Amino acid sequence: MEPSATAQELDIDQLQEQARRHLWMHFSRMGAYDAEHEIPIIARGDGAYVWDAHGKKYLDGLSGLFCVNAGHGRPELAEAAARQFEELEFYVLWSYAHPRAIELATKIADLAPGDLNRVFFTNGGAESVESALKLARNYHRMHGHGQKTKVIARKIAYHGTTLGALSATGVTEMKAQFEPVAPGAVHVANTNMYRYPEDRDPMDLANAIEEAIAFEGAETVAAVILEPVQNAGGCFVPPEGYFQRVREICDEHNVLLISDETICAWGRLGHFFGCERFGYQPDIITTAKSITSAYVPMGVMIVSDRVAEPFMQPGNEMFAHGYTFAGHPIASAVALANIEVFERDGLCEHVLAKEGEFGEMLESLSDLPIVGDVRGVGFFRAIELVKDKETKETFNDEEAEYLLRGFLSGELYSRGLICRADDRGDPVIQLAPPLICDTQQFQEMHDVLRPVLEEASERMHKR
Ligand SMILES: Cc1ncc(COP(=O)(O)O)c(C=O)c1O
């Protein structure tokens, strides 16, 4: 489909000027935009593609930001929202309920594994994580263990920007402007298997969590928070048995296991929930993003019966926490329609059927000198870029800055591929396309990535 007339009629110069003057983009170097450096303005989307304000087409290899899983421009989701606007545009979940939130909670409980049956809505990933950290503390308090307040997370992991979620986030540069963040977060090694010594037992990575619990004192630790596949750092996949060992450790020390599936749920790894991919049972799942395929904002914390139980007893107990817009009727209606699309179109099954082909396409780039590692599962993949393939030497800060922001980001975008060039850990390119992508889109990604990475290799070699 070609861009609509409205996209073509936009006054681009005016939009650019207004954006530079009034819009504060997130995690963006606003000062870097000037008359020579346009702000990319995305004006329209359809399926796996978006169009910018000039009418230029891009393959959305990042699904917005790991979230438009069902693809752009689905009329079913727009219609569900429109029907809901006519019936009930808003009611709050503070002491009231409404039909769509009840139906959605029931559907999520049905999809979620094991006894994850209690659904607490939020508006996004950070709010879900914040809610889980508060619930973990409160759960232990209700059981007479009020000292259990700390959370164990992993280095380089991103869990959101609110001060609690930020404390769990393991990226120093993201906290530096805001210290002190909420106290009590402890960080252990992540599962970067590319850089893990071959002669070490991968299970030491899980055991590091037990060591941290012992060091802090189990009587002070409330929860462990982990993503099924860690996003920041570039799609770190857990070694075999990792989560089973973490589960054992959590049980042994009365510590809750929070699976942060802000990205990894909703088919990204080929299942409704990421923990299903690795066969472990968390006490709490936090998620957001693609619960509505990002058509409207929504997040959710899914809680096991065991953890919810103290708050459900007859009497006056309550979890003193909430958000005005959580479980918004429009978002609930869209989420229900989104899940229906997933089930009707078999999006999880499609990912499982096609992940091999997607992975092989990326692996085929491994001959390039700059490609050190290709990793990930489902439609969630990363390419780690290295200076020296043999020694795995990475780029220094100045080189990484030039490689990612001075060359790759702009070049990939100008050739019509939106993906992420990131260096919260070592430099990586990440791809997480809409789950409707197939052979054609894999080929398109390849046809952009290969020449761009070839040129990147040459440029970095010459420096
Ligand atoms: C694992 C994880 N947790 C939390 C968040 C924060 O989500 P939000 O930006 O919706 O607050 C993100 C965002 O990407 C995430 O990837």
Q: Which amino acid, residue 21?
A: R
Instruction: Mark which of 345, 376, 410 sits at the end of a domain.
Output: 345
Rounded to whole angstroms, the Cα distance separating 435 from 438 reads 8
In 87-140, the DSSP E strands lie at 116-122
166 lines ligand 1 (CB under 6 A): no
Secondary structure, 3-state, 24-72: CCCCCCHHHCECCECCCCEEEEEECEEEECCCCEEEECCHHHHCCCCCE
Q: How far apart are the CA of 106 and the centre of ligand 1, in A? A: 24
148 lines ligand 1 (CB under 6 A): no
* pLDDT given at position 5: 46
CB atoms within 10 A of CB 364: 14
Rounded to whole angstroms, the Cα distance separating 240 from 279 reads 10
Rounded to whole angstroms, the Cα distance separating 275 from 269 reads 9
For residue 150, what are the β-bridge partners?
221
Q: Which amino acid, residue 398?
A: E
| CATH code assigned at 241 | 3.40.640.10
378 lines ligand 1 (CB under 6 A): no
Rounded to whole angstroms, the Cα distance separating 380 from 277 reads 13
Q: Cβ-count burial of 12 within 10 angstroms (0-12 exposed, 13-18 middle, 19+ buried)?
A: middle
Instruction: Mark which of 345, 362, 388 sits at the end of a domain.
Output: 345
263 lines ligand 1 (CB under 6 A): yes
Q: Tokens standing for 34?
A: 């000037």
Rounded to whole angstroms, the Cα distance separating 365 from 318 reads 54
Q: How far apart are the CA of 389 and the centre of ligand 1, in A? A: 32
Q: Tokens standing for 105?
A: 């909670």
Q: How far apart are the CA of 24 and the centre of ligand 1, in A? A: 19
Residues 172 and 303 in one domain: yes
CB 192 within 8 Å of CB 265:
no
Residues 69 and 85 in one domain: no
Residues 105 and 88 in one domain: yes
Helices (H), 313-414: 329-345, 347-363, 397-401, 409-414
- 3-state class (DSSP) for residue 200: coil
Residues 47 and 157 in one domain: no
Rounded to whole angstroms, the Cα distance separating 448 from 385 reads 16
CB 220 within 8 Å of CB 185:
no
Find where tokens 């990894």 sit: 264
Residues 13 and 83 in one domain: no
**Residue 180, preceding peptide bond in cis (omega within 30° of 0):** yes
Q: Which of 129, 266, 293 to mutate to test the pocket of ligand 1 (most atoms within 8 A of CB)?
A: 129
158 lines ligand 1 (CB under 6 A): yes
Residues 16 and 157 in one domain: no
Residues 304 and 254 in one domain: yes
164 lines ligand 1 (CB under 6 A): no
Q: Which amino acid, residue 349?
A: E
Residues 148 and 263 in one domain: yes
Rounded to whole angstroms, the Cα distance separating 355 from 270 reads 8
Ligand 1 atom at minimal distance to the Cα of residue 288: 10
Residues 318 and 439 in one domain: no
Q: Which amino acid, residue 112?
A: A
Q: Cβ-count burial of 89 within 10 angstroms (0-12 exposed, 13-18 middle, 19+ buried)?
A: exposed
Instruction: Mark which of 290, 317, 345 sits at the end of a domain.
Output: 345
For residue 42, what are the β-bridge partners?
52
Instruction: Give the total number of structural domains in the chain.
Output: 2
- Sign of the alpha-carbon dihedral angle for 286, 292, 298, 302: negative
Q: Which amino acid, residue 416?
A: G
Category of 444 on φ-ψ map: left (φ > 0), alpha (ψ -120 to 50) or beta: alpha
Q: How far apart are the CA of 161 and the centre of ligand 1, in A? A: 8
Q: Give 340's contacts (C-beta < 8 A, 6+ positions apart).
A: 76
| CATH code assigned at 36 | 3.90.1150.10
**CA torsion angle for 74, 80, 83, 87 (degrees, to 10)?**
-150
Instruction: Compute CA distances 461 → 93, 134, 369, 434, 454, whole Å.
Output: 58, 49, 9, 34, 11
Residues 320 and 221 in one domain: yes
Residues 66 and 85 in one domain: no
Q: Strand 57-60's sheet: what is its strand order? A: 42-46, 49-52, 57-60, 417-418
Looking at residue 314, the DSSP 8-state letter turns out to be: S
Q: What is the pLDDT along the chain (463 residues), one digit of tens a residue?
A: 455 545 557 899 999 999 999 999 999 999 999 888 999 999 999 999 999 999 999 999 999 999 999 999 999 999 999 999 999 999 999 999 999 999 999 999 999 999 999 999 999 999 999 999 999 999 999 999 999 999 999 999 999 999 999 999 999 999 999 999 999 999 999 999 999 999 999 999 999 999 999 999 999 999 999 999 999 999 999 999 999 999 999 999 999 999 999 999 999 999 999 999 999 999 999 999 999 999 999 999 999 999 999 999 999 999 999 999 999 999 999 999 999 999 999 999 999 999 999 999 999 999 999 999 999 999 999 999 999 999 999 999 999 999 999 999 999 999 999 999 988 899 999 999 999 999 999 999 999 999 999 999 999 988 7
C-alpha angle with apex 99: 93 to 100, nearest 5 degrees? 85
* pLDDT given at position 36: 87
231 lines ligand 1 (CB under 6 A): yes
Residues 229 and 337 in one domain: yes
For residue 148, give its domain range: 76-345
